[in-house]
Amino acid sequence: MGNKIEIRGVNKNFIQDGNEITEVLKDINLEIKEGEFICLLGHSGCGKSTLLRIIAGLEMDYEGEAYIDGKAISGPSLDKGLVFQDHRLFPWFTVEENIGYGLAENVANKKERIDELIHLVGLQGFEKKYPRQLSGGMSQRVAIARALINRPSLLLLDEPFGALDALTRITMQNEIRRIWQTQKNTMVMVTHDIDEAIALSSRIVILGQRGSGIKRIENVDLSYPRIRTGSEFSHIRNIVYREFFEEKEAELEYYL
């Protein structure tokens, strides 16, 4: 498989109060292969979402180079789907109207495409419902379907399950894995949740504290579905925990 995404020497600073410079991303070099599921993991403020926005083409003010399919990223496109933590559905639209809203003009068989995605995300029978009539998990299903409406080869997810309760979150993790395996997209997801990253990803990209760049890339060579109580899962969890708590041995022993 070739590279879907290439990030070369990317640096990103924010200017605060007119002159104070905050370094967010430093010397980011990353290659993501076609069809991979990558999780970006790190503390709050480490630049995970900023890196995702650069890949999405929503952030263009940075140093370095970023490519998708060998072409420099120049902005948003229909070939990139984006899902946020907040579902951002239009409250005056039904489920099917929200899903179809972003569909490219002059697309044949629009109704069939919407129906296909409703089945994919398991929302049969809710086509005419409004967002106020849906649970948080169901609303995120709509958001995922909407992001997939134009058949993007790349799906970007910015903490899509962060606002859900624990049980719904695990259900949605299983759903997004199933969708990835069915659709065969390349997926890049921002998360704070170590178990979520291990359960879903091909590789975990661990970012250090703000402005310190990529700390480690951990391969997750486990078959799906992944057993969270298994020894191999626990082994990877321990490796990742040590990256976050290596300087705090007391905390590390507590978590492990």
In this predicted model, what pLDDT tens digit does every residue of 213-254 receive, in sequence order?
A: 899 999 999 999 999 999 999 999 999 998 887 645 545 555
pLDDT digits (tens, 9 = 90+) for 151-172: 999 999 999 998 889 999 999 9
Lowest mean per-residue pLDDT among 21-35, 46-60, 91-105, 236-250: 236-250
Residue 40 pLDDT grade (very low, low, confident, very high; cuts 50, 70, 90)? very high
Q: 128 vs 107, which has greater pLDDT? A: 128
At 29 the pLDDT is 96
- Flag whether 8 is in a domain: yes
pLDDT at 256 over 70: no
Question: pLDDT at residue 212 above 90?
Answer: no
The pair of structure tokens assigned to 42 is: 């790190």
Let me know if residue 218 belongs to a domain: yes
Does residue 61 sit within a domain? yes
Q: Is residue 124 situated within a structural domain?
A: no
Q: Does the structure show a pLDDT above 80 at 135?
A: yes
- Count of the separate structural domains present in the chain: 1
Q: Is residue 242 situated within a structural domain?
A: yes
Q: Which residues contact 97 (CB under 8 A, 6 or more apart)?
A: 90
Give yes or no for a contact between 116 and 96, defined as CB atoms under 8 angstroms apart: no
Per-residue pLDDT of 70-124, as tens digits, reads 999 999 998 999 999 888 899 999 999 999 998 866 666 888 999 999 999 999 9
DSSP 132: G
Residue 247's pLDDT is 47
Per cent of the chain over pLDDT 90 is 73
Element holding 83 (H helix, E strand):
strand 80-83
The chain-wide mean pLDDT, for the chain, equals 90
3-state DSSP of 202-242:
CEEEEECCCCCCEEEEEECCCCCCCCCCCHHHHHHHHHHHH
Closest CA to 37 of 188, 253, 219, 252: 188
Going by the DSSP 8-state scheme, the letter that residue 103 receives in this structure is P
pTM: 0.91
In a domain, 83, yes or no: no
Expressed as residue numbers, the domain containing 11 is 3-37+44-73+193-255
**DSSP secondary structure code for residue 75 in this structure:** S
Is residue 212 situated within a structural domain?
Answer: yes
Mean pLDDT of 4-32: 87
Instruction: Let me know if residue 51 belongs to a domain.
Output: yes
Runs of H (alpha helix) within 61-214: 95-100, 110-120, 136-147, 166-183, 194-200
